[in-house]
Amino acid sequence: NAGVTQTPKFRVLKTGQSMTLLCAQDMNHEYMYWYRQDPGMGLRLIHYSVGEGTTAKGEVPDGYNVSRLKKQNFLLGLESAAPSQTSVYFCASSLDGSGRDTFGSGTRLTVV
Amino acid sequence: EDKVVQSPLSLVVHEGDTVTLNCSYEVTNFRSLLWYKQEKKAPTFLFMLTSSGIEKKSGRLSSILDKKELSSILNITATQTGDSAIYLCAVCLGSNYQLIWGAGTKLIIKP
């Protein structure tokens, strides 16, 4: 049982480049989330999904897009990366949106 | 604006000490309060506290929710070096099930 798997684990981008982060869960969870974690600021919600085919904006959605075409996958896209998007990105999922989330191991993204 | 504030931001104690971590919140629609432990990578779930379950305990860790004071504490007794981590507090909103996170308390346990 893999839980929540994020790929890639590390990435360096140049300003203006695009990329997609992939999150996959094998627990049949309905809810999925993308967070960013910056030093001293805790976790901030970027986008989330309450089920296959649905997405919604979180606290800091600007510069990011998401898609959830299949229940088990939640993709986070950066169309034109900026240095302000340098961060650690976490994907999480939960069965019922209760807050008891299972997290992936994170993606460390650096934009230069 | 919904917010969650944790204190202290960092804490250094010796093995065997007891520590108390604090979390206070101001939110418009409270559903539950959660504690997570973050070591090197992913946060892992510790406790969930709701209006119907204001105290939880697991081994040396325990947590209490004070709905009147809009706060919670996480206690760790007989600390061990393996307790060194960042402890995160989050509040789940009833309106949209989103979590609002505190900045965390970095706990260091010295041998």
Peptide bond into B8 cis (omega under 30): yes
- Tell me what the mean pLDDT of segment A23-42 comes to: 93
- Among A40, A50, A98, select the one facing B92 at the smallest CB separation: A98
- pLDDT of B97 reads 78
Interface check for A10 against chain B (CB to CB < 8 A): the answer is no
Give just the sign of the alpha carbon dihedral A55, A56, A58, A64. Answer: positive
- pLDDT of B94 reads 85
| Helices and strands (H, E) in chain A, number of each type | 0, 11
Size of interface A-B (CB pairs under 8 A): 56
* Rounded-to-integer distance, Cα A92 and Cα A100, Å: 10
Using a 10 angstrom Cβ sphere, with 0-12 exposed, 13-18 middle and 19 or more buried, the burial of residue A65 is middle
A2 to chain B, closest Cα gap in Å: 14
Residue B10: closest CA among B99, B74, B84: B84
Chain A environment of B27 (Cβ under 8 Å)? none
Band of pLDDT at residue A4, cut at 50, 70 and 90 = very high
- pLDDT of A1 reads 62
Higher local confidence (pLDDT), A18 or B53:
A18
Using a 10 angstrom Cβ sphere, with 0-12 exposed, 13-18 middle and 19 or more buried, the burial of residue B43 is buried
Chain B environment of A48 (Cβ under 8 Å)? 98
CA distances (Å), B36 to each of A20, B21, B44, B87, in order? Answer: 27, 12, 5, 6
The full length of chain B comes to 111
Give residue-wise pLDDT tens across range A61-102: 999 999 999 999 999 999 999 999 999 999 999 998 888 999
Interface check for A93 against chain B (CB to CB < 8 A): the answer is no
pLDDT, one tens digit for every residue, chain B (111 residues): 899 999 999 999 999 999 999 999 999 899 999 999 999 889 999 999 998 778 889 999 999 999 889 999 999 999 999 999 999 999 999 877 789 999 999 999 999
The answer to whether A4 and A104 have CB atoms below 8 angstroms apart is: yes
For chain B, the residues whose C-beta falls within 8 A of a C-beta of chain A are: 4, 9, 31-32, 34, 41-45, 48, 88, 90, 92, 96-99, 101-104
A30 to chain B, closest Cα gap in Å: 12
3-state SS record for chain B: CCEEEEECCEEEEECCCCEEEEEEEECCCEEEEEEEEECCCCEEEEEEEECCECEEEECCEEEEEECCCCEEEEEECCCCHHHCEEEEEEEEECCCCCEEECCCEEEEEEC
Q: Do A43 and B98 make contact, defined as CB atoms within 8 angstroms?
A: no
- In B, minimum Cα distance to A57 occurs at B98
Peptide bond into A8 cis (omega under 30): yes
Q: Do B103 and A41 make contact, defined as CB atoms within 8 angstroms?
A: yes
| Segment among A2-6, A101-105, B94-98 with least mean pLDDT | B94-98
